[in-house]
Amino acid sequence: MLIAGNWKMFDGPDPPELAARVAGIAGVDVIVAPPYTRLVACVEAGLTTYAQNVHWEPQGAYTGEVSPAMLRALGVRGSLVGHSERRQYFGETDAGVARRAHAALAAGLDVIACVGETQEERDAGDMETVLRIQVDAVRDACGPHDRLVLAYEPVWAIGTGRTATPEMAEEAHAFVKSLLDRPVLYGGSVKPDNAAELLAQPSVDGALVGGASLDVDSFAAICEAAAAVRP
């Protein structure tokens, strides 16, 4: 079971405090994805640390971007790619997400590639079409790479307080796995009070946690729920 905390553009909790709190939770791989300014502190605290994004080129005139090699030099283990906020606010495309994922894997980083539909797409009955397009782009670029994990994050549940039902999450995860046989995390308003039910679904391999990862106790409670579901 894998639990990843995406701190987004927040400072997040104290890295040594968080590291000490989750250190004794057996059977769960814990990852944090802080802002770039907090990467070193998280690495030094002993946390498995991912960036929130990564570029596909090793270097060059790409203002505001960071290369896989730069992340590895800091001791960063992996990166998110294709988060819904990157797609929505910064115009990232399926092709660009696939390039980022491929470059990161080729450079030795682990990758969590995010996919998911909007409320409008779900209401129109297009969930599977959207997921197929997004997953196929990653699959065609990376294949079933052993350092690749997917995250299903229904856009309508990101930061809204709304959460997919366990049945909805299971349906989407099973479909994603039918396209690319890799672990799939659920992301979308995961909290201590709903984590166990979501994580108990057979096709849910962990969680990508947003707001609840900013509080040590809340994030630790989700990790403990994961450990209890699949000890």
Per-residue pLDDT reduced to its tens digit, 161-219: 677 899 999 999 999 999 999 999 999 889 999 999 999 999 999 999 999 999 999 99
Whole-prediction pTM: 0.96
Q: Which pLDDT belongs to residue 225?
A: 97
Buried residues in 106-129 as b, exposed as e (16+ CB within 10 A): ebebbbbbbbbbbeebbeeeebbe
Q: Which of 117, 153, 170, 224 is catalytic?
A: 153
E-strand ranges in the chain read: 2-6, 29-33, 48-51, 78-81, 110-115, 148-152, 184-186, 206-209
Per-residue pLDDT reduced to its tens digit, 81-118: 999 999 999 999 999 999 999 999 999 999 999 999 99
Q: Which pLDDT belongs to residue 202?
A: 97
Is 231's pLDDT higher than 70? no
Distance CA 204, CA 183 (A): 8
Q: Amino acid letter at 207?
A: A
Is 68's pLDDT higher than 90? yes
Average pLDDT over residues 5-27: 97
| 57 a catalytic residue | no
Q: Which pLDDT belongs to residue 206?
A: 98
Percent of the chain at pLDDT above 90?
A: 90
Distance CA 222, CA 1 (A): 11
| 65 a catalytic residue | no
Q: Which pLDDT belongs to residue 160?
A: 66
Q: Which of 83, 102, 145, 173 is catalytic?
A: 83
Per-residue pLDDT reduced to its tens digit, 147-162: 999 999 998 777 666 7
Mean per-residue pLDDT over the chain, rounded: 95
* CATH superfamily of the domain spanning 2-229: Aldolase class I (3.20.20.70)
Domains of the chain, residue spans: 2-229
| Across 15-24, 113-122, 130-139, 158-167, least confident range | 158-167
